[in-house]
């Protein structure tokens, strides 16, 4: 092994060790914070006993009937107290019915119930803030867990765990040299999903200059797979050594279309959407429907879309991003608005599509004259402290379409497939943009162009890439 290779190997192992240590620290810190979380939503009997004892000591000590109630009729009074506290625990508070049933003989009953009510109110307020604090701790613990996963995954990538890595033969380096590319390092990486990457450190020789697209065509012929330059790589191979990454071209490509309309009495739509291309071989469709319409709903759904974009681009998994955003929505002081989260991830290498929904309207897969719906049975984000979302995975094929909608498009959410198929039967072409326009036009026609809710239609058309002679 050459001296430079030994130094590189030592540096890589040292970096991996440090990253794994950081990941372990994040994970342990997350576990420590989680241990503090103790969500209390029920009134405990011992706490209620303490509140009543405090009230009775204040009111009964100077009462003329104290001797009678708590000495002569101690058993009867204790039984009534037990029944009262059982009723309070069951009802969750002092209802008028509970007040009318107990201690009708007590001369201080009104003051006693007022004091008990005040004690219960303070107890519930304390429980509310403790629960909020615990939810915050859980949110922080989830963030630390996800950070531990990301750092650990990066450390694994340094080690290339789960991937195959090998140096390409010297014959390929010689062939590149003949094309005026001087390669210092040439590695092939087979990723966990089966796709290939070529990592090249090179420069052009003899004052030549070459685009990375030209280099990708040369490498494709040499390795036998269609390669394209990654977006992060420079566009030109120049006179200085630089690192370049080429990845296997995806088997599918996606064309998208969007159509939207605001509610009749609002100029601003409460729906927001986004398309992301995080890895080059993925397309992520995001749609969020803010509750209601107008500026407030728009601001709410826009915030969710922006956070989803930031989390996903930072390397967070979709489920973790949705969970963290839900925690943020729950912990706000003005927890009055909710929003849906609809995420669709199309993997262009395999054609597999992942759907994740939290309170979102149905998504549809169109394949010729056949249509399948993916429904959500969960509540929108921000309603419950623990987000619940529906997850589905479907295999898509050449010519399939994914249709994502906000709930204003389908009135009541019923008969969606029939409505869409009837609307799309009028389509003259299969352009995703035209399909989106036709669906929106049909929905507006149904509402007589006075929509009762915001409408957004996202359409993604999947088609297989055509490989011609040199690309095959």
* Sheet architecture: strand order including 390-395: 271-276, 282-289, 341-347, 352-358, 390-395
Query: In the predicted model, what is the mean pLDDT of the chain?
Result: 80
Mean pLDDT of all residues in 307-316: 82
Query: Would you say how long the chain is, in residues?
Result: 472
Q: Could you tell me how many helices (H) and strands (E) the chain has, helices first?
A: 12, 17
What's the pLDDT at 1?
46
- Ramachandran angles phi, psi of 397, nearest 5°: -130, 170
Digit-coded pLDDT (tens) for 243-264? 998 988 888 999 999 999 999 8
DSSP run (H or E) holding 286: strand 282-289
User: Confidence class of residue 38 from pLDDT cuts 50, 70 and 90?
Assistant: low
Q: How far is CA 299 from the centre of its chain?
A: 18
What share of the chain has pLDDT > 90, as a percent?
26
Digit-coded pLDDT (tens) for 383-416? 666 667 788 999 999 999 999 999 899 876 567 7
Please state which of the ranges 45-49, 426-430, 454-458 shows the lowest mean pLDDT: 45-49
- Burial label for 15, CB within 10 Å (0-12, 13-18, 19+), is middle
Residue 194: pLDDT over 70: no
Q: Where are the beta strands (DSSP E) in 5-137?
A: none
Digit-coded pLDDT (tens) for 332-372? 655 556 788 999 999 888 899 999 998 899 999 999 889 99
What's the CATH number of domain 252-467, 3.60.40.10, 2.60.130.10, 3.90.550.10, 3.90.1570.30?
A: 3.60.40.10
User: Confidence class of residue 160 from pLDDT cuts 50, 70 and 90?
Assistant: very low
Mean pLDDT of all residues in 286-311: 88
DSSP, res 409: T
Q: How far is CA 383 from the centre of its chain?
A: 15
What's the pLDDT at 141?
72
414 vs 292, 295, 345, 417, CA distance in Å?
A: 20, 28, 25, 9
User: Confidence class of residue 469 from pLDDT cuts 50, 70 and 90?
Assistant: very low
Digit-coded pLDDT (tens) for 96-147? 776 777 677 777 777 777 877 787 777 777 777 777 677 667 767 776 776 7
Residue spans of the domains in the chain: they are 1-159, 162-248, 252-467
User: Confidence class of residue 159 from pLDDT cuts 50, 70 and 90?
Assistant: very low
What's the pLDDT at 161?
43
- How many angstroms separate the CA atoms of 220 and 336, rounded? 55
């Amino acid at each position: 092994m050459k001296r430079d290779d030994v130094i590189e190997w030592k540096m890589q192992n040292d970096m991996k060790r440090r990253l794994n240590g950081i990941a372990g620290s994040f994970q342990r810190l997350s576990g420590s914070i989680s241990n503090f979380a103790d969500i209390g939503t029920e009134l405990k009997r011992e706490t209620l006993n303490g509140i009543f004892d405090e009230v009775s000591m204040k009111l009964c000590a100077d009462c003329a009937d104290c001797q009678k109630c708590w000495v002569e009729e101690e058993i009867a009074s204790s039984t009534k107290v037990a029944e009262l506290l059982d009723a309070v625990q069951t009802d969750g508070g002092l209802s008028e019915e509970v007040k009318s049933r107990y201690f009708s003989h007590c001369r201080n009953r009104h003051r006693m119930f007022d004091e008990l009510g005040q004690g219960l109110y303070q107890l519930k307020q304390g429980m509310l803030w403790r629960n909020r604090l615990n939810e915050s701790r859980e949110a922080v613990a989830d963030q630390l867990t996800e950070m531990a996963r990301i750092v650990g995954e990066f450390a694994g990538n340094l080690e290339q765990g789960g991937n195959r890595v090998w140096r390409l033969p010297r014959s390929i380096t010689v062939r590149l040299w003949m094309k005026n590319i001087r390669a210092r390092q040439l590695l092939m990486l087979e990723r966990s999903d089966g796709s290939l990457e070529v990592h090249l450190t090179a420069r052009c020789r003899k004052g030549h200059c070459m685009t990375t697209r030209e280099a990708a065509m040369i490498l494709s012929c040499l390795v036998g797979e269609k390669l394209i330059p990654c977006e992060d790589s420079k566009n030109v191979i120049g006179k200085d050594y630089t690192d370049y990454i080429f990845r296997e071209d995806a088997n599918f490509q996606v064309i998208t279309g969007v159509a939207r309309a605001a509610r009749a009495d609002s100029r601003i739509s409460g729906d927001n959407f986004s398309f992301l291309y995080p890895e080059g071989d993925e397309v992520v469709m995001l749609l969020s429907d803010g509750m209601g319409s107008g500026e407030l709903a728009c601001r709410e759904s826009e915030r969710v879309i922006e956070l989803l974009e930031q989390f996903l681009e930072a390397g967070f998994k979709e489920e973790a991003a949705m969970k963290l955003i839900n925690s943020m929505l729950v912990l706000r002081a003005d927890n009055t608005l909710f929003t849906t989260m609809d995420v669709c991830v199309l993997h262009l290498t395999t054609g597999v599509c992942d759907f994740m929904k939290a309170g979102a309207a149905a998504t549809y897969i169109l394949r010729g004259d056949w249509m399948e719906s993916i429904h959500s049975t969960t509540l929108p984000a921000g309603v419950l402290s623990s987000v619940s979302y529906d997850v589905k995975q479907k295999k898509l094929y050449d010519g399939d379409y994914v249709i994502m909608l906000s709930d204003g498009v389908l009135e009541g959410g019923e008969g969606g497939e029939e409505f869409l198929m009837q609307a799309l039967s009028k389509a003259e072409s299969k352009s995703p943009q035209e399909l989106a326009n036709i669906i929106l036009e049909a929905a507006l026609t149904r509402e007589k162009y006075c929509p009762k809710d915001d409408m957004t239609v996202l359409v993604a058309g999947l088609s297989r890439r055509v490989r011609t002679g040199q690309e095959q």
